Structure 1
Amino acid sequence: MKAMSEKERREELAKFLRTRRERITPQQAGFPAGLRRRTPGLRREELAQLAGVGATWYTWLEQGRAISVSAQVLESLARALQLDADERAHLFILARQQVPADPFPLTQTIDADLQLILDTMGIYPAWVLNPRWDIVAWNQAACHAFGDIGALTSRERHLLWLLFADPYYRTMFVDWEASAQHTLAFFRGSTQRYIGEPWLTQLIDELSQVSPEFREWWPRHDIQGRQTEQKQLKHPLVGLLELQPRTFQVVDRPDLQMIIYTPVSGTKTAAKLEQLSQSSMLSNHA
């Protein structure tokens, strides 16, 4: 299939804006219906007023002219046009050739079916992250390997926060510095579309205050597309754990990703994970 040209993309954007503007009644937008309207829906001037943009500029946009549009203006247009999530994404793709940042608040819980999948991982540690890297769900194997996640506060239950601000996690990794640098580069790569969002700015500020390493490494702007490095952990009960992280997108929840840690082949990690699971079962029945 031939790729859409720049001119065709602008024309598609113009048609999309016009059809969405025409489906909104004045009453829906808070305007009086009036006696005479030559076109259905809102006038261009009314839509521009709702979105907080100039009427002439919006007219040019709807005419398919070659003008640039910021993400902030597109968000205003999406609200004024009362777009749903799919329409909003389509607007961003047509106007900026990119998927928009996910709206907030972000997912903080998962449904029972996804939790069941986590639990069926058995002895393999697994957790689910939202786009902010909050740990929103986990299995018991993750608690066996990484500590009691459920006992953490919502602020602490963040993968980057644990790595840089939690003393236990700093001592857990055989090579904490390498792991922290790789994870930080992966975090930057996966969250770059959220630059300027208050949550990200606040997280960077807080981590810069509590971690001199983060304060030094964040300005380097290292980027990593995937997390492929094996993790070597010093577990207080069973000693060395060698784990390979595998990241999976949750298909019906694209804002979530599941990370499963499998034993590195040729090591004793699988037996040690089984040992941790059995110890937990015995203690629960004691």
Structure 2
Amino acid sequence: MTTTVERRAGGRRRRRDELAAFLRSRRERITPEDVGLPPAPRRRTPGLRREEVAQLAGVGVTWYTWLEQGRPINVSTQVLDAISRTLRLDPVEREHLYRLAEVGVPPEPDVVSALTEDVQTIMDGLAPMPAVVSDPRHEALAWNDAFAALVPWVTQAPPGERNPLWQFFTRPRCCNPCTNLEEQIGESVAMFRYRYVRHRSDPEMQRLVDRLLETSPRFAELWRHQDVAIPKPCQKDFFYPRLGGQISTRTTSLDLSVRPGTRLVVYTFVNDESRANFMRLLADPSLSLPDHTH
């Protein structure tokens, strides 16, 4: 019977083999002319030689040879970055290299710039259902007009605070339009922890958790419980005094391929009254304005 230690060792061996094959394939697709080297006739293999990659990346030939052979050696982020630049890796390939080398994943490229026009077109076509694209931290990256009408306190917040989770825990209770917050917030934190564990190498994720722990005693209390839950549809009920009627919704999340953890969240109305109330809000966004100031 294979032991756990043997399975882990086999997994590391396969990962190193994949790393070796990946580096060779990226090296072989680059010609000397691509990197400003004089053409060398009668090459036995296509692309750059190992010593050329090592020279261009500023690392030792022996060390790079061992890396490409899949030997268990220590690798730093600085060296991987140099190799990435030399091999002209795109952001996805660079992340793949980091994962194969078992080094902390580099910062993800700007997700907003990677969102295609098609995603925005889909969200606009879902109106009057509110829709938003969120990252693993719950930060709103893009949305349709219906979402902006439903939660203007999210979309009008400064960057870094366009986050329903942050707003739920930091807004004064009297200014929080979510009427079933206490029913949902424990489970919301548990689902957030599920995403947190999968993206804890993201420094922005840890920074958000630290800010919430420092700012919200309620979040700190729930976070200490260590509850975790798989994300699922949630009911969110909103009430704006100027509107005078409740808007009850259900949220459904659909994963996007833009970046891991990025998802399209769509709000559907649970009854005709909620839909009618929202249509009034959509026609007159001033109905979401608070009835008092602090």
Alignment TM-score, normalising by the size of structure 1: 0.72
The reply to whether residue 234 of structure 1 matches residue 234 of structure 2 is no
Moved more, 214-223 or 237-246: 214-223
Matches within 5 A, 1:62-211: 62-65=68-71, 67=72, 72=77, 75-76=80-81, 77-88=83-94, 90-91=96-97, 103-107=108-112, 110=115, 112-167=117-172, 171-211=176-216
After superposition, the Cα gap between the structure-2 partners of 1:44 and 1:220, relative to the gap in structure 1 and judged at 3 Å, is farther
Q: How many aligned residue pairs are there?
A: 273
Moved more, 207-216 or 86-95: 86-95
After superposition, the Cα gap between the structure-2 partners of 1:48 and 1:168, relative to the gap in structure 1 and judged at 3 Å, is farther
Q: Which residue of 245, 269, 288 maps to 1:263?
A: 269
User: For the residues of structure 2 that align with 1:108 and 1:18, how far apart are their CA atoms?
Assistant: 30
Deviations 1:222-244 (A, max 9, x none): 33331322223333224332211
Cα pair 1:10 1:64 within 8 Å, conserved: yes
After superposition, the Cα gap between the structure-2 partners of 1:58 and 1:185, relative to the gap in structure 1 and judged at 3 Å, is farther
The reply to whether residue 41 of structure 1 matches residue 48 of structure 2 is yes
Cα pair 1:109 1:137 within 8 Å, conserved: no
User: For the residues of structure 2 that align with 1:264 and 1:195, how far apart are their CA atoms?
Assistant: 34
| CA apart distance, 1:85 | 3.6
Moved more, 129-138 or 21-30: 21-30
Cα pair 1:243 1:264 within 8 Å, conserved: yes
After superposition, the Cα gap between the structure-2 partners of 1:55 and 1:211, relative to the gap in structure 1 and judged at 3 Å, is farther
User: For the residues of structure 1 that align with 2:220 and 2:275, how far apart are their CA atoms?
Assistant: 36
Cα pair 2:247 2:277 within 8 Å, conserved: yes
Deviations 1:123-147 (A, max 9, x none): 3222122344321222232233223
Deviations 1:7-35 (A, max 9, x none): 66644432221232344466766889999
Moved more, 28-37 or 271-280: 28-37
The residue type paired with residue 242 of structure 1 is S
The residue type paired with residue 224 of structure 1 is A
| CA apart distance, 1:210 | 1.5
The residue type paired with residue 167 of structure 1 is P
The residue type paired with residue 103 of structure 1 is E
The residue type paired with residue 151 of structure 1 is Q
Deviations 1:87-107 (A, max 9, x none): 3455466556x9x67623332
What stretches of structure 2 of length at least 5 have no aligned partner? 1-9, 288-294
After superposition, the Cα gap between the structure-2 partners of 1:188 and 1:269, relative to the gap in structure 1 and judged at 3 Å, is same
What stretches of structure 1 of length at least 5 have no aligned partner? none
| CA apart distance, 1:245 | 0.4
Cα pair 2:137 2:208 within 8 Å, conserved: no
Percent identity over paired residues = 33
The answer for the alignment partner of 1:59 in structure 2 is 65
The answer for the alignment partner of 1:276 in structure 2 is 281
Deviations 1:52-81 (A, max 9, x none): 6x765543442244x387794895343443
